[in-house]
Amino acid sequence: MRHQKAAKRLGRNDDHRRSMLRNLTTALLLHGTIETTVTRAKEVSKVTSRMITRAKKGDLHSRRMVASYLNSDDVVKKLFEVIAPSLAGRSGGYTRIVRTRIRKGDAAPLAQIELLQ
Protein backbone atom coordinates (compact mmCIF):
# COMPACT_ATOMS: atom_id res chain seq x y z
CA MET A 1 0.00 0.00 0.00
CA ARG A 2 1.13 3.54 -0.75
CA HIS A 3 -0.26 5.40 2.23
CA GLN A 4 1.20 8.89 2.66
CA LYS A 5 3.54 8.67 -0.31
CA ALA A 6 3.72 12.08 -1.96
CA ALA A 7 5.40 11.29 -5.29
CA LYS A 8 4.01 9.34 -8.21
CA ARG A 9 5.96 6.33 -9.40
CA LEU A 10 5.30 7.00 -13.10
CA GLY A 11 5.61 3.34 -14.05
CA ARG A 12 9.37 3.29 -13.60
CA ASN A 13 11.88 2.05 -11.08
CA ASP A 14 13.57 4.52 -8.73
CA ASP A 15 16.71 5.22 -10.76
CA HIS A 16 14.88 5.64 -14.06
CA ARG A 17 12.26 7.90 -12.49
CA ARG A 18 14.90 10.08 -10.80
CA SER A 19 16.85 10.36 -14.04
CA MET A 20 13.74 11.24 -16.05
CA LEU A 21 12.72 13.96 -13.59
CA ARG A 22 16.25 15.40 -13.60
CA ASN A 23 16.27 15.52 -17.40
CA LEU A 24 12.80 17.10 -17.61
CA THR A 25 13.65 19.68 -14.94
CA THR A 26 16.89 20.58 -16.70
CA ALA A 27 15.06 20.93 -20.02
CA LEU A 28 12.35 23.10 -18.47
CA LEU A 29 14.87 25.46 -16.88
CA LEU A 30 16.89 25.60 -20.10
CA HIS A 31 14.07 26.17 -22.58
CA GLY A 32 11.40 27.74 -20.40
CA THR A 33 8.65 25.43 -21.68
CA ILE A 34 8.30 21.72 -22.50
CA GLU A 35 5.48 19.40 -23.50
CA THR A 36 4.98 16.15 -21.61
CA THR A 37 2.18 14.13 -20.06
CA VAL A 38 0.03 15.74 -17.39
CA THR A 39 1.24 13.45 -14.60
CA ARG A 40 4.90 14.04 -15.45
CA ALA A 41 4.26 17.78 -15.68
CA LYS A 42 2.84 17.82 -12.15
CA GLU A 43 5.86 15.97 -10.78
CA VAL A 44 8.30 18.19 -12.69
CA SER A 45 6.51 21.23 -11.29
CA LYS A 46 7.19 20.04 -7.74
CA VAL A 47 10.87 19.44 -8.42
CA THR A 48 11.30 22.71 -10.30
CA SER A 49 9.73 24.73 -7.52
CA ARG A 50 12.16 23.16 -5.04
CA MET A 51 15.10 24.09 -7.30
CA ILE A 52 13.92 27.68 -7.76
CA THR A 53 13.26 28.14 -4.04
CA ARG A 54 16.74 26.87 -3.29
CA ALA A 55 18.23 29.14 -5.98
CA LYS A 56 16.50 32.17 -4.48
CA LYS A 57 18.61 31.75 -1.33
CA GLY A 58 21.67 32.26 -3.49
CA ASP A 59 24.33 30.91 -1.11
CA LEU A 60 27.10 28.47 -1.96
CA HIS A 61 25.42 25.49 -0.33
CA SER A 62 22.27 26.05 -2.38
CA ARG A 63 24.28 26.35 -5.59
CA ARG A 64 26.05 23.07 -4.86
CA MET A 65 22.80 21.28 -4.02
CA VAL A 66 21.17 22.48 -7.25
CA ALA A 67 24.28 21.64 -9.29
CA SER A 68 24.27 18.11 -7.88
CA TYR A 69 20.72 17.62 -9.15
CA LEU A 70 20.72 19.35 -12.54
CA ASN A 71 22.61 17.91 -15.51
CA SER A 72 24.16 21.10 -16.90
CA ASP A 73 26.34 23.79 -15.39
CA ASP A 74 24.94 26.28 -17.89
CA VAL A 75 21.43 25.65 -16.55
CA VAL A 76 22.63 26.15 -12.97
CA LYS A 77 24.19 29.47 -13.96
CA LYS A 78 21.00 30.54 -15.77
CA LEU A 79 18.88 29.51 -12.78
CA PHE A 80 20.90 31.53 -10.28
CA GLU A 81 21.57 34.59 -12.47
CA VAL A 82 18.38 34.94 -14.56
CA ILE A 83 15.45 32.84 -13.36
CA ALA A 84 15.70 33.18 -9.57
CA PRO A 85 16.08 37.00 -9.55
CA SER A 86 13.10 37.36 -11.91
CA LEU A 87 10.96 35.29 -9.51
CA ALA A 88 12.23 36.95 -6.32
CA GLY A 89 8.91 38.67 -5.59
CA ARG A 90 6.93 35.45 -5.97
CA SER A 91 6.57 33.11 -3.02
CA GLY A 92 5.54 30.05 -5.01
CA GLY A 93 3.67 29.02 -8.12
CA TYR A 94 6.64 29.29 -10.45
CA THR A 95 5.18 27.11 -13.20
CA ARG A 96 1.99 26.93 -15.24
CA ILE A 97 0.56 23.68 -16.60
CA VAL A 98 -1.74 23.96 -19.62
CA ARG A 99 -3.38 20.84 -21.00
CA THR A 100 -2.80 20.77 -24.74
CA ARG A 101 -3.99 17.62 -26.51
CA ILE A 102 -4.41 13.86 -26.42
CA ARG A 103 -1.49 11.86 -27.80
CA LYS A 104 -2.62 9.81 -30.77
CA GLY A 105 -0.62 6.64 -30.10
CA ASP A 106 -1.73 5.83 -26.56
CA ALA A 107 -4.37 8.50 -25.81
CA ALA A 108 -2.25 10.01 -23.03
CA PRO A 109 -3.26 13.55 -22.05
CA LEU A 110 -0.41 15.94 -22.81
CA ALA A 111 0.32 19.26 -21.18
CA GLN A 112 2.68 22.14 -21.70
CA ILE A 113 4.55 23.23 -18.58
CA GLU A 114 6.16 26.67 -18.61
CA LEU A 115 8.04 28.91 -16.24
CA LEU A 116 6.33 32.12 -15.21
CA GLN A 117 8.34 35.32 -15.47
Structural domain of 94: 14-115
Cβ-contact 115, 41 below 8 angstroms: no
76 in a domain, yes or no? Answer: yes
Q: Count structural domains, the chain.
A: 1
Cβ-contact 47, 65 below 8 angstroms: no
The CATH number that applies at residue 27 is 3.90.1030.10
Its pTM stands at 0.92
Of 86, 5, 27, nearest to 52 by C-alpha is 86
Residue 106's pLDDT is: 95
Handedness of CA 13, 4, 106, 71 (dihedral sign): negative
Each residue's pLDDT tens digit in the chain (117 positions)?
A: 889 888 888 878 989 999 999 999 999 999 999 999 999 999 999 999 999 999 999 999 999 999 999 999 999 999 999 999 999 999 999 999 999 999 999 999 999 999 998
- Cβ-based neighbours of 16, under 8 Å, separated by 6 or more: none
